[in-house]
Structure 1
């Protein structure tokens, strides 16, 4: 009995559904939503293609800078115009002397393991001061605050890569100048903590041949730019194709249902 009642109810529901025409408004809304979705996904794919071109150009420019002949480190007149896009990883040279005092040790992890970058103030012959990343030492070699790490004495010529300051600190770790804990090479903060004036807004990563002493180890600059834009672009374009395919399938299904709903009425006439 219950089964018979369910069948009758289903037949009645099917009859009502056949006599209710599909709403053109609903089809229009679905079409608009589908069109906007496909357009948005396609735009995201195009944006990633543009980002891919930009990233490849950046990699090519940086590679050219790294292998170019060194140029004099920018002086005060050029400082307002220093930026990552135009100057990061440019090979530079500077002549002068290391200033007296302790080095600043900045936490680092390199191919040699965990330890510190050793940053020292350098007075250029042109009259300005620049922080020089002399290289890497292990935690055991650091010995306190870096006062025991030997420096080249007298006039020297250094070569290395121009690096843009790293303000703030590391991931979830903020620099603490008062406690002498540094997690990033923040030029302004280090200069202020050491009482330095007229300091360049960048620092220099020394190359492997710049040090006259065995430690620290220079030439460990890692130059790597994540480049996943092609994968992202293919993903967005794939989603756009899927959304378009689903929309067309839904439209065809709706039209087929509308035709099926009309056939019983045609037969009654």
Structure 2
């Protein structure tokens, strides 16, 4: 009977251990994400917070009520989105100047059926803090400004929590690697010794 090849067995063993470790890490991330989502679900019921001048990426006040004074709209961006009634259209996001310096604030002014920039030059805005892909956070105006319609309310349910699927994927990869290597070793031990 042939002995197991040392180096390939070691490499496959390490790879399988890494994949199992990644699966366990995803399970830990799932528990963390569930706790975070539970906190976000209760955020809207808590007292309003001051608008953070410089958001802390590790402790974003998502889904909390807040307000900001938009001194001047420095620019607009429009993206496809839904109104509060579920209609497809355009969400209008103002890049607001809030002081002489600093990053300012991104404000979702509201929703319309056209991508044209609204006729709004700024002012006080209240609403809910939501995630923003460009600036970490943005304030979703409630009520909307400039005669726009309300956008679909930001919800923690929109944040994906697919760590369970990732964990299962890593465990499957580890199992498949073990089966394939086991079949390769079994085939090697059954093959006749070369002369």
State the TM-score, normalized to the length of structure 1. Answer: 0.53
Pairing partner for 1:107 from 74, 78, 97: 78
More strand by percentage: 2
Structure 2 CA distance for partners of 1:33 and 1:123, relative to 1, 3 Å: closer
Aligned partners of 1:118 and 1:146 also within 8 Å: no
The count of corresponding residues between Structure 1 and Structure 2 is 184
- Could you tell me which residue of structure 1 aligns to residue 162 of structure 2? 228
Aligned partners of 1:83 and 1:164 also within 8 Å: no
1:194-213 mapped onto 2 (5 Å cutoff): 203-207=138-142, 210-211=143-144
- Structure 2: distance between partners of 1:235 and 1:95: 43
Consecutive unaligned residues of structure 1, counting only runs of 5 or more, are 1-20, 168-185, 187-200, 263-269
SS at match of 2:140: strand
Pairing partner for 1:133 from 70, 86, 108: 108
What is the CA distance between 1:233 and its match in structure 2?
1.0
- Could you tell me which residue of structure 2 aligns to residue 86 of structure 1? 59
More helix by percentage: 1
- Structure 1: distance between partners of 2:95 and 2:188: 73
Residue 216 (str. 1) matches residue 148 (str. 2): yes
Q: Deviations over 1:132-189 (max 9, x none)?
A: 432112217x4xx433x5988xxx6x5312246654xxxxxxxxxxxxxxxxxx6xxx
- Structure 1: distance between partners of 2:97 and 2:179: 64
Aligned partners of 1:118 and 1:137 also within 8 Å: no
Runs of 4+ in 1 over 4 A off after TM superposition: 101-104, 120-124, 149-152, 163-166
Aligned partners of 1:135 and 1:220 also within 8 Å: no
Residue 32 (str. 1) matches residue 10 (str. 2): yes
Which of structures 1 and 2 has the bigger CA Rg?
1
Consecutive unaligned residues of structure 2, counting only runs of 5 or more, are none
What is the CA distance between 1:256 and its match in structure 2?
3.8
Q: Deviations over 1:174-219 (max 9, x none)?
A: xxxxxxxxxxxx6xxxxxxxxxxxxxx9642112xx3487x31234
Structure 2 CA distance for partners of 1:60 and 1:68, relative to 1, 3 Å: same
- Structure 2: distance between partners of 1:132 and 1:246: 54
Structure 2 CA distance for partners of 1:166 and 1:32, relative to 1, 3 Å: closer
- Structure 1: distance between partners of 2:33 and 2:131: 18
- Could you tell me which residue of structure 1 aligns to residue 23 of structure 2? 45
Residue 162 (str. 1) matches residue 129 (str. 2): yes
Aligned partners of 1:137 and 1:217 also within 8 Å: yes
- Structure 2: distance between partners of 1:110 and 1:250: 52
Structure 2 CA distance for partners of 1:73 and 1:62, relative to 1, 3 Å: same
